[in-house]
Amino acid sequence: MVATDLIHSASASLIAGSVESSGGGISVDFDKSVLIQFVAFLLLLVLIKPLLIDPFLKLMEEREKRTEGARAQARTMDARAGEILQKYEAELDKVRKVAADERERLRVEGQRLEQRMLEEARVEAARITAEGKQVIAREAEALRAELATATGALADDIASRVMGKGL
């Protein structure tokens, strides 16, 4: 409480000292020049407002409209780009699915073709093997028949040599 009293008394003495040093209060003369200056100010304000202030405000308003218009257009274009990107990605997914289906179809078709070719090769190999066995069997029969006919003559030849006589 003592500190606030000291502050009040110090500020009061400063105010009193400044009033005494300035020689008293301020006096203002109110005459015709004040009215002329006020009228000149109003006249200047009336002239400047339509010539400078209103066009400046219109310019700022137009600038703000264009800025907002550009921002709105940018937002619209951004939204449109997002839609186009989503459509693109959806189409890309469809194409990938079609490609995967086609790849799977071709893989299955390739497997079927491979199986068919292997089966044809097996059948051909079995046919060739059967023909080879038939050829071998015919040749074996021909050799047996030839051996059967030659066996008698060969036996006579061997016997005559062993005995030393001709039969």
Per-residue model confidence as pLDDT tens digits over 44-59: 988 898 898 899 999 9
Phi and psi angles of residue 115, each rounded to the nearest 5 degrees, phi first: -65, -45
d(CA 164, CA 167): 10
Of 152 and 136, the structure prediction assigns the larger pLDDT to: 136
pLDDT beyond 60 at 22: no
Q: pLDDT grade, residue 159 (50/70/90)?
A: confident
Buried b (16+ CB within 10 A) or exposed e, 116-141: eeeeeeeeeeeeeeeeeeeeeeeeee
The residue ranges of every structural domain in the chain are: 47-163
Q: Could you tell me the pTM of the whole model?
A: 0.41
Q: Is the pLDDT at 68 greater than 50, yes or no? A: yes
Q: Residue 97 — pLDDT band, cuts 50, 70, 90?
A: very high
Q: What is d(CA 154, CA 167) in angstroms, rounded to the nearest whole number?
A: 12
Give me the torsion for CA of 76, 78, 84, 86, rounded to 10°. Answer: -120
Share of the chain above pLDDT 70, in %: 83
User: Is the pLDDT higher at 143 or at 17?
Assistant: 143
Report the residue count for the chain.
Answer: 167
pLDDT at residue 19, as a whole number: 47
Mean pLDDT, range 69-98, rounded to an integer:
94
Confidence grade of residue 111 (pLDDT, cut at 50, 70, 90): very high
Assess whether pLDDT exceeds 50 at residue 27: yes
pLDDT band at 8 (very low <50, low <70, confident <90, very high): low
Q: What is the spatial distance between Cα 47 and Cα 41, in angstroms, rounded to a whole number?
A: 10
DSSP-assigned states of every residue in 65-131: HHHHHHHHHHHHHHHHHHHHHHHHHHHHHHHHHHHHHHHHHHHHHHHHHHHHHHHHHHHHHHHHHHH
- Total H helices, total E strands in the chain: 3, 0
Q: Kindly report the CA angle at 136 between 135 and 140, in degrees rounded to 5?
A: 120
Once rounded to an integer, what is the mean pLDDT over residues 2-10? Answer: 58
Query: Mean pLDDT score of the chain, rounded to an integer?
Result: 85
Q: Average of pLDDT values for 75-87?
A: 95
